[in-house]
Amino acid sequence: MNFENIILEQHDGLAQLTINRPKKLNALNKDTIQELHEAFKALEDDADTKVILLTGSGEKAFVAGADISEFAHFSEEEGKHLAKQGQEKLFDFVSNLSTPVIAAVNGFALGGGLELAMACHFRIASDNAKMGLPEVSLGVIPGYGGTQRLAQLIGKGKAMELIMTAGMISAEEALSCGLVNYVTPQDELLALGEKLASKIMRNSSVAIAAAIRAVNDNYVDGVNGFETEIEEFGACFATEDFKEGTTAFLEKRKPSFPGN
């Protein structure tokens, strides 16, 4: 696949997606969102891809925000369409992938950039990372799921503060409030991502996909996540991965999951 704004590299079950607009601090424009959608869809359909690592090019930014020049003169209806289409095409799409996605935040993750990181299944950050949702300083609010996911991840009160002040927090602050899982020196960030990916890939990809669905359903209005867990738990018993996993445990050996 050929892309203008992203770089895709694959090896040993790991796909690394790098947003590559360094002169724009990797800001998300319409074309980049479309390319990311296409790349994520292709990787989701690729049985050989077990984990996706998402990062930004250069040392300054993961994604410094959305490309404001594209929508500065939008009408109300155009604004609604922008948010709806963006959520469906990229942010909700990533959140609901059955392939685990790790965001490696290397520098600024602001506005749409932080929203993209939050759509991933979890996040790691370099020690120079800065994160925030500055939209209210432009007279608008986060539109790519930021008001929802930030509160889910760090709690309502802290989310309200960050959104209303339009402030940025450091990597260490993000770690302390649960926005990221790990902080590491920038030159060790991708190595940490690969290490976590290798741990994930030892396990059943079929079971991991089921776990993602169950966890996500806790945040869907009108859906009982506990019921989803029961259904997914039961469904696992019919899989070859379950048979191999339990047999390997009883035989005191490492499993070789058919689903992988």
Percent of the chain with pLDDT over 90: 96
State the pLDDT confidence band at 2, using cuts at 50, 70 and 90: confident
Count other Cβ atoms within 10 Å, centred on residue 186: 16
Domains of the chain: 6-201 (3.90.226.10), 205-250 (1.10.12)
Q: Position 97: which residue type?
A: L
If you average pLDDT over residues 95-103, what whole number do you get? 98
Q: Which of 35, 115, 194, 232 is catalytic?
A: 115
Distance CA 47, CA 257 (A): 13
Q: Position 206: which residue type?
A: V
State the pLDDT confidence band at 68, using cuts at 50, 70 and 90: confident
Q: Are 205 and 260 in contact (CB under 8 A)?
A: yes
Indicate if 135 belongs to the active site: yes
Supply the pLDDT for residue 126: 98
Percent of the chain with pLDDT over 70: 100
φ, ψ of residue 259 in degrees (nearest 5) = -70, -15
If you average pLDDT over residues 212-217, what whole number do you get? 98
User: What tens digit of pLDDT does each residue of 140-194 get?
Assistant: 999 999 999 999 999 999 999 999 999 999 999 999 999 999 999 999 999 999 9
Q: Is the pLDDT of residue 80 over 90?
A: yes
Residues near 110 by Cβ (< 8 Å), separated by ≥ 6? 63, 64, 65, 130, 131, 132, 133, 134, 168
Give the angle subtended at the CA of 239 by the CAs of 233 and 244, to the nearest 5°: 105
Q: Is the pLDDT of residue 60 over 90?
A: yes
Both structure tokens of 24: 């724009």
Supply the pLDDT for residue 207: 98
State the pLDDT confidence band at 1, using cuts at 50, 70 and 90: confident
Q: Is the pLDDT of residue 202 over 80?
A: yes
If you average pLDDT over residues 46-51, what whole number do you get? 96
Both structure tokens of 245: 């996993």
Supply the pLDDT for residue 67: 87
Q: Are 14 and 194 in contact (CB under 8 A)?
A: yes
If you average pLDDT over residues 229-245, what whole number do you get? 98
Q: Which of 35, 135, 194, 232 is catalytic?
A: 135
Block residue for tokens 């490696």:
104
Distance CA 122, CA 149 (A): 12
Question: Mean pLDDT for the chain?
Answer: 97
If you average pLDDT over residues 13-35, what whole number do you get? 96
Block residue for tokens 């930014």:
61
Q: Is the pLDDT of residue 28 over 90?
A: yes
